Amino acid sequence: MNAMHVSDTAPTGAKPGGTTPASAVDPVCGMTVDPARTHLHTVHEGKEYFFCSESCLRRFRSDPAAFLKPPDSAAERPNRSTASGR
Ligand SMILES: [Zn+2]
């Protein structure tokens, strides 16, 4: 009895997940910058930000919150005026 057992070796395409982003966006002007090629960066609230120029970095440091607006800043709340009562 010759049982030919073929081990099904699936080609695992394990891609090396890079932790360092290939590119970053300057939060001040919106430019795409290469983190590996700039020394203009700062860490704000545990996150690292990169900048295209020193002026952008300075502006960000002076007021980080101004450039980090939440996506839903204008949160509209459907507050229906339920006029109950008499
Ligand atoms: Zn910039």
Assigned domain for 32 exists: yes
Give the domain extent around 58. Answer: 24-66
Gap from CA of 5 to ligand 1 centroid (Å)? 61
Gap from CA of 65 to ligand 1 centroid (Å)? 16
pLDDT digits 0-9 by tens, 29-86: 999 999 999 999 999 999 999 999 999 999 999 999 999 876 664 555 666 666 666 6
Residue labelled with tokens 């002026």? 55
The pLDDT assigned to 83 comes to 65
Assigned domain for 86 exists: no
Q: Which two tokens stand for residue 68?
A: 């980090």
List the shell of residues around ion ligand 1, using CB closer than 5 Å.
26, 28-29, 31, 52, 56
Structurally, how many domains does the chain consist of? Answer: 1
Question: HEC profile for the chain?
Answer: CCCCCCCCCCCCCCCCCCCCCCCEECCCCCCEECHHHCCCEEEECCEEEECCCHHHHHHHHHCHHHHCCCCCCCCCCCCCCCCCCC
Assigned domain for 51 exists: yes
Gap from CA of 63 to ligand 1 centroid (Å)? 14
Who's near 64: CB < 8 A, 6+ residues apart?
44, 45
Assigned domain for 29 exists: yes
Q: Note the pTM of the prediction, 2 decimals.
A: 0.57
pLDDT digits 0-9 by tens, 1-34: 666 776 666 566 555 655 666 899 999 999 999 9
